Chain A
Amino acid sequence: MRKGRYLLKRFVYIIFVFFIISILMFTIYKSLPGDPVRMMMGDNVKPEVYQQQYDTIRAQLGLDEPLPVQYVKWITNMLTGDFGYSTEYRKPVKNVVGVPMRNTVMLNIFSMLLVFVISIPLGITQAVKKNSVFDKAVQVVTIVGYSVPSFVIALLAIYAFAIKIPLFPISGAKTAGFNGTGMAAALDVAKHMALPVLVMSVSGIGSITRYVRASMIDALRMDYIKTARSKGLKEKVVIYIHAFRNALIPIVTVTTWWLIGLFGGSIVIETIFLWDGLGKMMITGLNQRDFAVVLAMQMFYVILSLVGNVIMDIAYTLVDPRVRLEN
């Protein structure tokens, strides 16, 4: 019951934050230079009908109304899933974002999985074998991993695995003119995704491993671990059930922050690998002054970050029953 009320409170608060941010964003976008109407009209309009046509399109886009009205209209549309009209693609944004969103989510989910699969066992092993050569070596690797910027790793990866040893394609989301279905298509996508996923995971692996190690060491020092061991429990049980569950709390915090950052950070990766995702779309949208698209992308990132915060709250209540939710 308490949990439910807490989550409801959080949810209401999150919506409040969402509206503040959306107003902020709307204000920013309205002060954008460049004229979307002129962009949409192109250059092939005769001078005599220019003004008339200009006004028509302006009215069509709803740009002649006062700002608060525009905002209310815009936010209502947003909430009903209508993200406006893309001046670049000449289509509703809704119809354009499908594939990029799928690509981005796919990219992020796979790298997330890769990070967890590698960093959690690695961090635990490090904590168990604290101060061993293995531990020290991995520590050096992880500090390098999270310090080096992703685009540097991307350049290195392209050089090593796409040019010197041509295992993977340099860029793109699928082979041009490729028409296969089923397994062949999946394989093609997997091949294109390998490098971006690898590059995106490096910094995550670096930082998450460090956090797992630190919180596991803290947990392993606790008295209940001694009790568990003296009970004669198997070491595996002690580590994975008793220690790890308690080590999860700080890991959850860090993981959520990292997740939010991951989607934002994939902008850089998508631009390098020309991955047809939201980040690349946003950059193109900005360069083309296609505000509707940029706005929708931005909304996506904001919602993602807010949802991330909610997930963090829920995850806390799940992993740590002691968390006093009223506070």
Chain B
Amino acid sequence: MADKNTKKKREKSTVGKAAQRMVFGGALTEEQEEILTPIQMVFRSFVQDKVAMTGVICFLFIFMCCVVLPFFLPIDMYYQDVTQANVGPGFGMLDVPSGLQKKARQVSLGSTFSVGIDEKGNVYEWGRFPTNKLKKLPADMGSLVQVSAGLDHVVALNDAGEVVTWGNDRMGLASIPLELRMGETVKEVYAGYQISLALTESGRLYNWGNDFLIDIKIPKEVQGNIQKFVANTDIVMALTKDGEVAALTTKTNAYTAIPEQIQGRVVDLALTDESVAAVTEDGQVHVWGNNVKGSRNIKEEVQGHVTAIEGGRFHYVVQLDDGTVQAWGDDTFGQTKVPDIKGKVKDITAGYYGSYIIDESGTVTGWGLKGYLMGTDDFGRDIFRRLLKGGRMTMTVGAIAVIISTIIGVIIGGISGYKGGKIDNILMRLTEIVSSLPFLPFAIILSAIIGNNISETQRIIMIMVILGLLSWPGIARLVRGSVLAEREQEFVTAAKALGIREWGIIFRHILPNIITVIIVNATLDFATCMLTESSLSFIGFGVSEPNATWGNMLNGARSATVIENFWWRWVYPALVLAICTISINCIGDGLRDAIDPKSKER
């Protein structure tokens, strides 16, 4: 035995040495004859196993990512945004083309793409295009003076006062109202969520496209007197030439609670998804509406200095009288982290989750949502963040299920093996009954029955318990077999002679001797439980939405369209799940080889 150990030691890899130093300290020298406990032997031989160590490293990496990263990349599980649906992976959303730099006149931010025009009126598009129609620019647009990007279409205005539009042409987005084509000179255009708006020099507002989503009712006294307008998916607000704010709707809601004291003094207006902000002559910002994601938490230092305001989905950007720019509100994608601009700020734009600054030299700087590392799913949720949360969930479910099954298995196997006789017989029959339950069908049915009227948390606990309750027979048999072998050993007889209670003998004397076997089995069971949980969630009987697990993230990827067109929605979860289970199986195999030297010779 000792001879074998010294021989082994010389062959030790550098990894093994490093790990040995880490664990046992640097005191051991080559010449010394060492005495190793079985656990140390196992550990050494495990550390030398390259495949198993690779597995450990891979698994620990994924595990640490899932544990640590969600703190830095938080995600609201209930959050959904259709405007961000099925965006491919990548970070190019705010990469302004070099052709536009130094000569930008105006830019506009759409859902996942942006458009801009230069001094000569040429148009540039960048980002991720929700539809390929966006790339087909209409011929003879003339020299453009203003552009606006919406969900999936663009509206632009040329120097002849004509409106042009491209991109999505459904919902009547292509049919520009007759009045705009006949004589009326357009001052400003806007592309929104399946809707387009245009304001004429005479202060009249026109809209076309899908007007079912927004209720637009322009009061008579406002029509023809509009100075500026802003819109989101719920409402259109207008700023009249007399500096008054008007909500262009007949309904009463959070937006219509316009503070009386600002009427007549408003110079600029902006809208986010839940609130309205108005800038008065004295540079004060007034925000009303719902305070979602901190959009009403105005920075105190900007009050009194604001000259212009712009709003995105949940953030506001303001230009101050000293030429600087400030932002507040939602910061999930860094929307409020305004970059330092060298030159003087000429113009600011905000939209959706990003913002742009154009400085005097015509250079465009963008910040906010640059893209998604792994794209988004059909509800516009960031796949990478869900993957992290899902990993945590999958691993937690797997781990707790394994703990439950190991505890049951050890207790039943231990008692059965030690007691023998009738008790053994009954317990083993019970084991046999449970193991002859067809696993997956039974798990599905239990989940369908119990999981009907319970909360999501209860559902997760239920899945853990079901998996634990159905998967203990394997470990029970193993423990029983090992206990049977151990109980004939002298130390058990000695313990008995000392008058130690049976319970103590089983769990304090025998159990430590078979703990390695249990650990190996638990490791392999962990992989199996993760797989089963994923399978259950995949067919819709496991952890349910909006909670993420790797299995239910793949649930949405079952149709051929998704598999073909939105590959990122299934490739990433599948890849991570596969790497994880392969790693755990490698670890389990490595442990088994380390414990049982005979199996290593295979």
Residues of chain A touching chain B, judged by Cβ–Cβ distance below 8 Å, are 17, 20-21, 28-29, 31-34, 130, 143-144, 146-152, 155-156, 158-159, 162-163, 170-171, 213-214, 217-218, 260-261, 263-265, 267-268, 271-272, 279, 282-283, 286, 294, 297-298, 301-302, 304-306, 309
Q: Given that A147-B527, A155-B563, A158-B560 are contacting pairs, would A267 and B448 also be in contact in the complex, using a CB cutoff of 8 Å?
A: no
Establish whether residues A163 and B564, one from each chain, have CB atoms under 8 Å apart when the complex forms: yes
What is the bound-complex CA distance between A170 and B449, given in angstroms? 31
Q: Given that A33-B449, A155-B574, A218-B602 are contacting pairs, would A149 and B535 also be in contact in the complex, using a CB cutoff of 8 Å?
A: yes
Establish whether residues A149 and B534, one from each chain, have CB atoms under 8 Å apart when the complex forms: yes
- Which segment, of B91-99, B279-287, B359-367, B436-444, faces chain A? B436-444
Nearest CB of B to A130, in Å? 8
Chain B residues whose CB sits within 8 angstroms of the CB of A150 once the complex forms: 535
- B445 touches which of A144, A294, A304 (Cβ 8 Å): A294
Establish whether residues A144 and B582, one from each chain, have CB atoms under 8 Å apart when the complex forms: yes
What is the bound-complex CA distance between A17 and B584, given in angstroms? 34
State whether the Cβ of B554 lies closer than 8 Å to any Cβ in chain A.
yes
Establish whether residues B444 and A214, one from each chain, have CB atoms under 8 Å apart when the complex forms: no
Chain B, residues 426-446, CB within 8 Å of chain A (1/0): the string is 000100110011111110111
Provide a sorted-by-A list of 13 A–B residue pairs whose CB atoms are within 8 angstroms: A28-B445, A28-B446, A147-B584, A149-B531, A152-B577, A155-B574, A159-B564, A214-B599, A264-B438, A264-B441, A286-B444, A297-B441, A305-B437
Chain A residues whose CB sits within 8 angstroms of the CB of B432 once the complex forms: 17
Establish whether residues B531 and A265, one from each chain, have CB atoms under 8 Å apart when the complex forms: no
- A268 touches which of B440, B446, B602 (Cβ 8 Å): B440
Chain B residues numbered 134-172 whose CB sits less than 8 Å from any CB in chain A? none
What is the bound-complex CA distance between A297 and B441, given in angstroms? 9
Nearest CB of A to B592, in Å? 11
Contacts A32-B449, A294-B445, A298-B438 known; 6 new A-B pairs at CB < 8 A = A146-B585, A149-B531, A163-B564, A265-B535, A301-B441, A302-B437
Nearest CB of A to B495, in Å? 28
- A163 touches which of B453, B534, B560, B589 (Cβ 8 Å): B560
State whether the Cβ of B578 lies closer than 8 Å to any Cβ in chain A.
yes
What is the bound-complex CA distance between A140 and B564, given in angstroms? 28
Give me the 3 closest cross-chain CB pairs, A-B, nearest first: A301-B438, A264-B440, A147-B582
Establish whether residues A156 and B441, one from each chain, have CB atoms under 8 Å apart when the complex forms: no
Establish whether residues A152 and B560, one from each chain, have CB atoms under 8 Å apart when the complex forms: no
Q: Given that A33-B449, A152-B577 are contacting pairs, would A21 and B437 also be in contact in the complex, using a CB cutoff of 8 Å?
A: yes
What is the bound-complex CA distance between A217 and B599, given in angstroms? 10
Chain B residues whose CB sits within 8 angstroms of the CB of A267 once the complex forms: 440-441, 444, 539
Nearest CB of A to B506, in Å? 23
- Nearest residue in B to A270 (C-beta to C-beta)? B539
Establish whether residues A282 and B444, one from each chain, have CB atoms under 8 Å apart when the complex forms: yes
What is the bound-complex CA distance between A159 and B569, given in angstroms? 13
Chain B residues whose CB sits within 8 angstroms of the CB of A146 once the complex forms: 585
Chain A residues whose CB sits within 8 angstroms of the CB of B560 once the complex forms: 158, 162-163, 170-171
Q: Given that A21-B437, A267-B440, A297-B441 are contacting pairs, would A149 and B578 also be in contact in the complex, using a CB cutoff of 8 Å?
A: yes
What is the bound-complex CA distance between A170 and B559, given in angstroms? 9
Chain A residues whose CB sits within 8 angstroms of the CB of B581 once the complex forms: 147-149
What is the bound-complex CA distance between A89 and B538, given in angstroms? 26
Chain B residues numbered 397-453 whose CB sits less than 8 Å from any CB in chain A? 429, 432-433, 436-442, 444-446, 448-449, 452-453
- B433 touches which of A20, A162, A263, A286 (Cβ 8 Å): A20
Establish whether residues A298 and B602, one from each chain, have CB atoms under 8 Å apart when the complex forms: no
Establish whether residues A265 and B440, one from each chain, have CB atoms under 8 Å apart when the complex forms: yes
Nearest CB of A to B602, in Å? 5
State whether the Cβ of B557 lies closer than 8 Å to any Cβ in chain A.
yes
Nearest CB of B to A192, in Å? 14
Chain A residues whose CB sits within 8 angstroms of the CB of B453 once the complex forms: 33
Q: Given that A17-B433, A143-B586, A155-B563 are contacting pairs, would A283 and B577 also be in contact in the complex, using a CB cutoff of 8 Å?
A: no
State whether the Cβ of B229 lies closer than 8 Å to any Cβ in chain A.
no
Establish whether residues A159 and B535, one from each chain, have CB atoms under 8 Å apart when the complex forms: no
Nearest CB of A to B558, in Å? 6
Establish whether residues B444 and A143, one from each chain, have CB atoms under 8 Å apart when the complex forms: no
What is the bound-complex CA distance between A143 and B588, given in angstroms? 11
What is the bound-complex CA distance between A159 and B601, given in angstroms? 40
Interface of A is mostly: helix
Establish whether residues B436 and A302, one from each chain, have CB atoms under 8 Å apart when the complex forms: yes
Work out how many contacts link A and B, with CB atoms closer than 8 A: 122
- Nearest residue in A to B602 (C-beta to C-beta)? A217
- B554 touches which of A29, A143, A152 (Cβ 8 Å): A152
Chain B residues numbered 534-587 whose CB sits less than 8 Å from any CB in chain A? 534-535, 538-539, 541, 554, 557-558, 560, 563-564, 567, 570, 574, 577-578, 581-582, 584-586
Nearest CB of A to B586, in Å? 7
- Nearest residue in B to A297 (C-beta to C-beta)? B441
Chain A residues whose CB sits within 8 angstroms of the CB of B444 once the complex forms: 267, 282-283, 286
- Nearest residue in A to B583 (C-beta to C-beta)? A147
Chain B, residues 99-110, CB within 8 Å of chain A (1/0): the string is 000000000000
Chain A residues whose CB sits within 8 angstroms of the CB of B574 once the complex forms: 152, 155-156
- Nearest residue in B to A213 (C-beta to C-beta)? B602
Nearest CB of A to B403, in Å? 21
What is the bound-complex CA distance between A14 and B442, given in angstroms? 19
What is the bound-complex CA distance between A260 and B435, given in angstroms? 11
- Nearest residue in A to B558 (C-beta to C-beta)? A272
Nearest CB of A to B561, in Å? 10
What is the bound-complex CA distance between A302 and B413, given in angstroms? 24
Chain B residues whose CB sits within 8 angstroms of the CB of A34 once the complex forms: 452
- Nearest residue in B to A218 (C-beta to C-beta)? B602
What is the bound-complex CA distance between A267 and B442, given in angstroms? 11
Establish whether residues A143 and B436, one from each chain, have CB atoms under 8 Å apart when the complex forms: no
Q: Given that A148-B582, A301-B438 are contacting pairs, would A268 and B535 also be in contact in the complex, using a CB cutoff of 8 Å?
A: yes
What is the bound-complex CA distance between A294 and B577, given in angstroms? 30
Chain A residues whose CB sits within 8 angstroms of the CB of B429 once the complex forms: 17
Establish whether residues B602 and A147, one from each chain, have CB atoms under 8 Å apart when the complex forms: no
Chain A residues whose CB sits within 8 angstroms of the CB of B564 once the complex forms: 159, 163
Nearest CB of B to A255, in Å? 16
Chain B, residues 349-365, CB within 8 Å of chain A (1/0): the string is 00000000000000000
What is the bound-complex CA distance between A213 and B599, given in angstroms? 12
Nearest CB of A to B564, in Å? 5
Q: Given that A148-B578, A298-B441 are contacting pairs, would A159 and B563 also be in contact in the complex, using a CB cutoff of 8 Å?
A: yes
What is the bound-complex CA distance between A71 and B429, given in angstroms? 23
What is the bound-complex CA distance between A271 and B444, given in angstroms? 13
Most chain A CB neighbours (cut-off 10 Å) among B539, B564, B599: B539
Nearest CB of A to B407, in Å? 22
Nearest CB of A to B346, in Å? 48
Establish whether residues A147 and B578, one from each chain, have CB atoms under 8 Å apart when the complex forms: yes
Q: Given that A147-B527, A152-B577, A156-B574 are contacting pairs, would A260 and B582 also be in contact in the complex, using a CB cutoff of 8 Å?
A: no
Establish whether residues A261 and B439, one from each chain, have CB atoms under 8 Å apart when the complex forms: yes
- Nearest residue in B to A164 (C-beta to C-beta)? B564
What is the bound-complex CA distance between A143 and B444, given in angstroms? 27
Chain B residues whose CB sits within 8 angstroms of the CB of A309 once the complex forms: 436
- B563 touches which of A32, A163, A268 (Cβ 8 Å): A163
Nearest CB of A to B597, in Å? 14
- Nearest residue in A to B534 (C-beta to C-beta)? A149
Chain A residues whose CB sits within 8 angstroms of the CB of B577 once the complex forms: 148-149, 152
What is the bound-complex CA distance between A305 and B473, given in angstroms? 15
- A28 touches which of B433, B449, B563 (Cβ 8 Å): B449
Establish whether residues A158 and B440, one from each chain, have CB atoms under 8 Å apart when the complex forms: no
Q: Given that A147-B581, A149-B578, A271-B539 are contacting pairs, would A286 and B440 also be in contact in the complex, using a CB cutoff of 8 Å?
A: no
Nearest CB of A to B446, in Å? 7
Chain B residues whose CB sits within 8 angstroms of the CB of A21 once the complex forms: 433, 436-437
